[in-house]
Amino acid sequence: MPAGVSWSKYLTFLTTAMLTMFAGSQVVHRYYRPLDDLDDYIEKELSSRRKV
């Protein structure tokens, strides 16, 4: 295993890191809501391209 770590510690770290990443992503999407105004941005870009 990498750096002489046992399989159980390696899998524990891997699982913890993955779950933390998933939880962080979920928090960002629930708190900041980055996709709520996506339709507005798309419509604005399409209208600006039609003008050119």
* C-beta of residue 34 within 8 angstroms of C-beta of residue 28: yes
Section 7-31 average pLDDT: 95
Secondary structure of the chain: what % helix, strand, coil (to 5)? 80, 0, 20
Rg of the chain, C-alpha, whole Å: 21
Section 35-45 average pLDDT: 92
pLDDT for res 2: 74
pLDDT beyond 80 at 40: yes
Q: pTM score, two decimals?
A: 0.62
Cα separation, 11 vs 17, in Å, equals: 10
Cα separation, 12 vs 24, in Å, equals: 18
- CA-wise closest residue to 42 among 32, 30, 50: 50
pLDDT beyond 80 at 39: yes
Percent of the chain at pLDDT > 90 equals 73
